[in-house]
Structure 1
Amino acid sequence: MPQMKPMSWILFLFFMMAMMYVYVSYLYFYFFGLKNLSFEGEEKVMKNKYSFMCKW
């Protein structure tokens, strides 16, 4: 059967969203890492990311 079940569609969409989130967060960390190479800057970025996640 070529038709997909609704459950597999939901899982597929969830997987795609997860991949996009990982890719975006990777780019985010990459660029911020270049701007402030110090450990303090990295820690600040981590705190910002967690506070951003808590808002959701």
Structure 2
Amino acid sequence: MQTSDCAWRIEILQRGGIEWCRVVHGDAVVGGLDIAEAHRTLAAAGVDLTEIHPAA
């Protein structure tokens, strides 16, 4: 999932039955998050969560 300008991404990862998220903005990566933490990270950065859409 990402913003329409592709500046922010949420990537969902899975390994060994464990799922987690990471938020990517340029070279900055914050990983090991659950989806609620990823949403809070984006909101704290001023990203409008209604602007997050599935990546094309």
Higher RCO (CA 8 Å, separation ≥ 6 residues): 2
More helix by share: 1
Tell me the TM-score normalised to structure 1 length: 0.31
The structure having more radius of gyration, on CA atoms, is: 1
The structure richer in strand per residue is 2
